[in-house]
Structure 1
Amino acid sequence: MNAPTSPQKLTVKDFATDQDVRWCPGCGDYAILKAVQKTLADLGADKDKTVFVSGIGCSSRFPYYMETYGFHTIHGRAPAIATGVKLANPELDVWIVTGDGDGLSIGGNHLMHAIRRNIDCQILLFNNEIYGLTKGQASPTSHLGTRSSTTPNGSTDAPLEPIKVALGAGARFVARTADKWIKEMPDVLKAARSHRGTAFVEILQNCIVYNDQVFAGFTGKEAQEGSFLHVEHGKPLLFGAGRAKGLRVKPGTFKLEVVTVGEGGVTEADLLVHDKTDPVLAGLLAAMRGPHFPIAFGVLYDDPAESHEAAVAAHKADQKARTPDVSINALLKRGRTWMVEGPKA
């Protein structure tokens, strides 16, 4: 988006408030907060034209800790309120902060429609696969077998995959990062902010109390290099130790497969090259997670289209051009009218 910038050079501290940051010690939200503050400082964002809108949950305390304008709203309704903010003043840089419970359960309807309308904003969905603030219930993204206060014997519900949901709703920008990828996260956030339209970013975030180490398989210190893949537009989809493994389309199918460069005649030329404008490839990358595939991080899809508020403004301008200026009295009498007369004497 063509977001306003500040005339003065800003630092991370310029975006930090005087409020005590209150999350559990070790919570991944601290890293995300610093990454967002760094992103806005690096971009020279105008604090007076930046707005953070949140719903309910641990992540939704975000507006208190950002030295910008903000709304801490009601459960699941942050996208609806942010839509109103953007339509009222399209020049504002609007960020929506939500969680997997807030955004995909009670707020799923609002999230879906904000995405399909393509509001020019950034949606940051913190996904810890659990309800944290309300004390550890299974959330819409909790994986099968998750033991929680509401699923003591393990969850039997099939989980939602946030990026697949966003793509299904018509998202034109989807990305994934994690609280552990503190160096890479600002680059993803900058790409999201530069996108015109809804930019949906899933941030995997560790809940140290109720779902600790759920992402350790690909973000922890002991994570295997072959468990994750950082995509980059125009570059082959390589990963693993020495970047020896790669992704290609399995011959004769529309499925991805993992191959090792140098084995079975496979060369780097056989691998898929990441194209962030390809929605089919984005869907395939979003679906990868499991013992046989790495999980994809970075900008999976970025193909801008006209934003909702731009379409609304153009529609209003067209209607105004088609409608001549007339008096209120003329408007009231336009079209089919009739007179209601009182009883005759």
Structure 2
Amino acid sequence: MDESLEVKGEGSTRRLFDLGGVDVAWCPGCGNFSILKALKMALAELDLKPERLVIVSGIGQAAKTPHYLRCNFFNGLHGRALPAATAIKAVNPELTVIAESGDGCMYGEGGNHLIHAIRRNPDITCIVHDNMVYGLTRGQASPTSLRGFKTPAQAAGVFHEPLNPLALAVALNVSFAARAFAGDIEETKEIFKRAISHRGFALVDVFQPCVTYNRVNTYQWFREHTYYLEDSYDPSDRVEAFKKALETDKLPLGVFYVNRKPTFEENLSLYRKSLEPLHRRKVNMDVIGELIDATRRG
């Protein structure tokens, strides 16, 4: 399946973010293909350059996404994409930084990091492929699996409440929260563009059907159980955003909440006098020596 995006430039066609000739290790029909395509489209339409983009992921099928993009990327430990992404953005605020992984990685092993990333508000985008199952480890229930969902490891069915990432994010007063559906590439692309353009922490939960290990939450299931927020919806209304996030009969899609506030980088004392990235600054070895000595003294 060719998921490249051709972008017409001056007299030539450029494949901005496509590696080309790479074997993709996803099952045919996997929702990850659509997310990858929507992301390539969004990045190209935002006129971003591969060399100015860093995608950070953890472990899992979704975490393989940056392997299929022409850009800088960092593959970290399971659940640990957000700390690395926060550090990269802090060291060089000029970069566009995207943290990307699946629901197990971001909401399970990485749930604590998600909470504190929302609190810190780094200027990064967090894209979560939410298929309600662990795909790489062959079909265990994930934090977002619905009640009653049966797997070989949960033969009697999941009996606890699924995590509601958008309700959690809005409750923590996140800077940007949205939900997309991989079955609608065009709308997913538009949501990605808004999230990446937003200044602050932007969470995008993407419903992504797993065609191998989740035969319940299929493309058809999502089409029947989702709807798009109305054009008149006001994403600045936190109370209404929380109400929408709690809906379960039909699951809303779109941008739930936008709350512009100072970013983690803007709050750092390092950037109060100068916005020059740290990697361009002259290293003061005397200061570093003092810090090392202070650490040794305890």
Q: Could you say which TM-score interval applies, normalised by the shorter chain?
A: 0.7 to 0.9
1:47 to partner: Cα distance: 1.1
Cross-structure match for 2:115: 112
Counterparts in 2 of 1:102 and 1:26: CA distance versus 1, 3 Å: same
Show structure 2 runs of 5+ residues with no match: 1-8, 275-284, 291-298
Distance 1:218 1:11 in 2: 38
Counterparts in 2 of 1:37 and 1:216: CA distance versus 1, 3 Å: closer
Which amino acid letter does the alignment assign opposite residue 44 of structure 2? A
Distance 2:174 2:61 in 1: 25
Cross-structure match for 1:228: 226
Cross-structure match for 2:279: none
Counterparts in 2 of 1:316 and 1:137: CA distance versus 1, 3 Å: same
Q: TM-score, normalised by structure 1?
A: 0.73
Contact between 2:180 and 2:204, CA under 8 Å: does it hold in 1?
Answer: yes
How far does the alpha carbon of each residue in 1:289-320 deviate from its partner, in whole angstroms, 9 at most, with x for none? 12xxx2111111112111101111466539xx
Show structure 1 runs of 5+ residues with no match: 1-7, 236-273, 319-326, 333-345
Query: What is the 5 A alignment of 1:146-157?
Result: 146-157=149-160
Q: TM-score, normalised by structure 2?
A: 0.84
Moved over 4 A (4+): 8-12, 215-218, 313-316
Contact between 1:12 and 1:34, CA under 8 Å: does it hold in 2?
Answer: no
Contact between 1:172 and 1:198, CA under 8 Å: does it hold in 2?
Answer: yes
Query: How many residues were matched structurally?
Result: 271
Cross-structure match for 2:17: 15
Contact between 1:143 and 1:158, CA under 8 Å: does it hold in 2?
Answer: yes
Distance 1:34 1:203 in 2: 13
What is the RMSD computed on CA atoms of the aligned residues?
2.5
Counterpart of 1:127 (choices 126, 130, 145) is: 130
Q: Which structure has the bigger radius of gyration? A: 1
Cross-structure match for 2:236: 277
Three-state SS of the structure 2 residue aligned to 1:183 is helix
Three-state SS of the structure 2 residue aligned to 1:317 is coil
Three-state SS of the structure 2 residue aligned to 1:196 is coil
Query: What is the 5 A alignment of 1:151-166?
Result: 151-166=154-169
Which amino acid letter does the alignment assign opposite residue 68 of structure 2? Y
- Is 1:61 the counterpart of 2:64 in the alignment? yes
Counterparts in 2 of 1:11 and 1:135: CA distance versus 1, 3 Å: farther
How far does the alpha carbon of each residue in 1:219-252 deviate from its partner, in whole angstroms, 9 at most, with x for none? 34xx3xxx4331255x1xxxxxxxxxxxxxxxxx
Cross-structure match for 2:252: 296
Contact between 2:174 and 2:259, CA under 8 Å: does it hold in 1?
Answer: no
Contact between 2:170 and 2:257, CA under 8 Å: does it hold in 1?
Answer: no
Cross-structure match for 1:28: 31
Query: What is the 5 A alignment of 1:85-104?
Result: 85-104=88-107
Cross-structure match for 1:338: none
- Higher mean alpha-carbon deviation, 307-316 vs 51-60, is at 307-316
Contact between 1:121 and 1:198, CA under 8 Å: does it hold in 2?
Answer: yes
Distance 1:173 1:190 in 2: 12
Contact between 2:173 and 2:259, CA under 8 Å: does it hold in 1?
Answer: no
State percent identity of aligned pairs.
36
Which amino acid letter does the alignment assign opposite residue 268 of structure 2? V
Distance 1:11 1:149 in 2: 48
Counterparts in 2 of 1:12 and 1:143: CA distance versus 1, 3 Å: farther
Distance 1:280 1:229 in 2: 19
Distance 2:43 2:251 in 1: 27
Per chain length, whose mean CA-contact separation is higher, i.e. which structure has more relative contact order (CA < 8 Å, sep 6+)?
Answer: 2
